[in-house]
């Protein structure tokens, strides 16, 4: 086993206590992770505060160069990091349509490089005989980052890189279920960054809430469940922390009757099941017009039955396990509830025998709103298919949710689909696509799906405060 340690103030620190990290494909412990105490968090925040004094004053070109150097490190260590990701998260090395650990590393590199090139220029408000007024963007201080277990390294990159780009320093606490790739990245990054600029603490519990309450942390960035996001906001109110929260989603897709079922089914399948459905912005509720309902169900069933599920380290595997036992239990519970409620299980629906946290790709038809599988976020390899007859009613049902992360309209009539997409109550609306994000376009939720946005210059601004400078002349 590799000897993992915390990274605080540029130093590798080993702890008296450790916790287990399991491979979800086997259920077996394959690594030990350092378990930080609250004193370690205090040390990490103090180191980040001290480093902020100089890092916030580093020339823009130098910060940009260091961030590109971090992208170089990610590329150089891609095989090592891919294997860690697959062992701890369960996602395949390759995956269906290339969505696996390789894509996670590729996305991490892409986001790092694009963010390195972003900048927030001074804005000139007034410049006349009386005064010159400038608006500057200033870094906040120490940023606390808590990424989730489903895309652990890539989402850590989404948090860390814009914070560093804008002159902040960072303390990151990865999920205790998937800490290893992020630990290794931070260890590598400290070869490039000054001591204290990027620190990492890991623990099975307690550290996250302490970060939200910590007076030395100026901003929290969190990706995960809505209840935890609300808790972070409450705890952060102690010192009026800034927050960026990307929370739960129960994304609806609406398929209009003019589509070709055979042509569109592979696309719907991909956006509903990539990473075994364990993506915040996955398609999680599929509304299909009655005229093509049976055809869509049949096409999706064929695709699901042909998919190869297994240990992500094995060649040709397209879908891995559910990441952890608790999530597996929830997925099975929601499917059982749907079955009792009259839903038709088109495929899957029963946990296979054998090791690991596997659940088969499952499609549930003859189901509607009011059933838990439709109303709640399943976050697993299960897709409910809901029949509708009137598109206005489908829009109403799609919007009748406390969540509002993403949504989509599928049609050959792009103009009509775009008009309908604008009526969806969500942070991102796709037309003939779903769940695709990119580093130069803002992404975030409305309602209980989030607070603030990430990516592009909109996301970069969230790591800064505004300082107005008025220079009186004469």
Instruction: Tell me the per-residue pLDDT of 392-440, one tens digit each, with 9 for 90 and over.
Output: 999 999 999 999 999 999 999 999 999 999 999 999 999 999 999 999 9
Alpha carbon distances (Å) from 43 to 11, 143, 147, 212: 11, 14, 20, 16
Q: Which residue is catalytic, options 280, 282, 297, 426?
A: 280
Q: Are 149 and 177 in contact (CB under 8 A)?
A: yes
pLDDT of residue 1 exceeding 80: no
Question: Across the chain, what does the average pLDDT equal?
Answer: 97
Residue 280 among the catalytic residues: yes
Report d(CA 448, CA 129) in Å as an integer: 48
Output the pLDDT for position 362. Answer: 98
pLDDT of residue 14 exceeding 70: yes
Instruction: Tell me the per-residue pLDDT of 165-192, one tens digit each, with 9 for 90 and over.
Output: 999 999 999 999 999 999 999 999 999 9
Output the pLDDT for position 3. Answer: 80
Average of per-residue pLDDT across 22-31: 97
Output the pLDDT for position 2. Answer: 73
Domains 6-247+447-472 and 251-431 share a fold: no
Q: Which residue is catalytic, options 33, 104, 243, 246?
A: 246
Average of per-residue pLDDT across 371-387: 98
User: Can you name the CATH fold of 6-247+447-472?
Assistant: Aldehyde Dehydrogenase; Chain A, domain 1 (3.40.605)
pLDDT of residue 441 exceeding 60: yes
Percent of the chain with pLDDT over 90: 99
Average of per-residue pLDDT across 342-357: 97
Instruction: Tell me the per-residue pLDDT of 60-89, one tens digit each, with 9 for 90 and over.
Output: 999 999 999 999 999 999 999 999 999 999
Q: What is the pTM of this model?
A: 0.97
> Domain ranges in the chain?
6-247+447-472, 251-431
**Selecting from 3.50.50.60, 3.40.309.10, 3.40.50.300, 3.90.1150.10, what CATH number does the domain 251-431 have?**
3.40.309.10
Residue 246 among the catalytic residues: yes
Instruction: Tell me the per-residue pLDDT of 289-306, one tens digit each, with 9 for 90 and over.
Output: 999 999 999 999 999 999
Average of per-residue pLDDT across 195-213: 97
């Amino acid at each position: 086993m590799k000897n993992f340690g915390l990274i605080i103030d540029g130093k590798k620190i080993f702890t008296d206590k450790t916790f287990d990290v399991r491979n979800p494909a086997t259920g077996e412990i394959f690594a030990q992770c350092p378990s930080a105490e609250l004193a370690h968090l205090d040390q990490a925040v103090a180191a980040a505060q001290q480093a902020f004094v100089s890092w916030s004053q580093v020339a823009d070109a130098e910060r940009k160069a260091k961030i590109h150097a971090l992208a170089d490190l990610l590329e150089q260590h891609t095989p090592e990091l891919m294997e860690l990701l697959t062992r701890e998260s369960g996602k395949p090395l390759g995956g269906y349509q290339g969505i696996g650990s390789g894509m996670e590393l590729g996305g991490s590199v892409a986001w790092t490089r694009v963010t390195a090139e972003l900048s927030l220029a001074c804005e000139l408000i007034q410049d006349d005989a009386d005064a010159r007024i400038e608006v500057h963007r200033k870094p906040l201080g120490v940023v606390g980052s808590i990424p989730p277990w489903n895309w652990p390294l890539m989402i850590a990159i989404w948090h860390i890189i814009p914070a560093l780009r804008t002159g902040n320093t960072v303390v990151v606490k990865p999920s205790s279920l998937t800490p290893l790739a992020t630990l290794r990245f931070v260890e590598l990054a400290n070869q490039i960054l000054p001591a204290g600029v990027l620190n990492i603490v890991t623990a099975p519990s307690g550290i996250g809430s302490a970060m939200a309450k910590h007076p030395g942390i100026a901003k929290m960035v969190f990706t995960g469940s809505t209840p935890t996001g609300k808790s972070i906001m409450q705890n952060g109110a102690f010192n009026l922390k800034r927050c960026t929260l990307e929370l739960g989603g129960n994304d609806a897709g609406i398929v209009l009757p003019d589509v070709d079922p055979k042509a569109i089914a592979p696309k719907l399948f991909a956006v509903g099941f990539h990473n075994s459905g364990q993506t915040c912005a996955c398609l999680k509720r599929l509304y299909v017009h009655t005229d093509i309902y049976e055809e869509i169900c049949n096409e999706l069933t064929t695709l699901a039955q042909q998919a190869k599920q297994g240990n992500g380290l094995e060649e040709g595997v397209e879908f891995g396990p559910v990441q952890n036992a608790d999530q597996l239990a929830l997925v099975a519970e929601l499917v059982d509830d749907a079955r009792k409620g009259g839903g038709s299980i088109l495929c899957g629906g029963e946990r296979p025998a054998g090791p690991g946290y596997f659940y088969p790709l499952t499609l549930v038809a003859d189901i509607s709103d009011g059933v838990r599988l439709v109303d709640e976020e399943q976050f697993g390899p299960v897709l409910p298919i809901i029949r509708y007859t009137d598109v206005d009613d489908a829009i109403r049902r799609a919007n009748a949710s406390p969540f509002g992360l993403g949504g989509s309209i599928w049609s050959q009539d792009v103009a009509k689909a775009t008009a309908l997409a604008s009526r969806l109550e969500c942070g991102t609306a796709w037309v003939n696509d779903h769940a695709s994000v990119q580093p130069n376009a803002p992404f975030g939720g409305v309602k209980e799906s989030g607070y603030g946005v990430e990516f592009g210059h909109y996301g970069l601004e969230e790591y800064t405060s505004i300082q107005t400078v008025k220079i009186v002349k004469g």
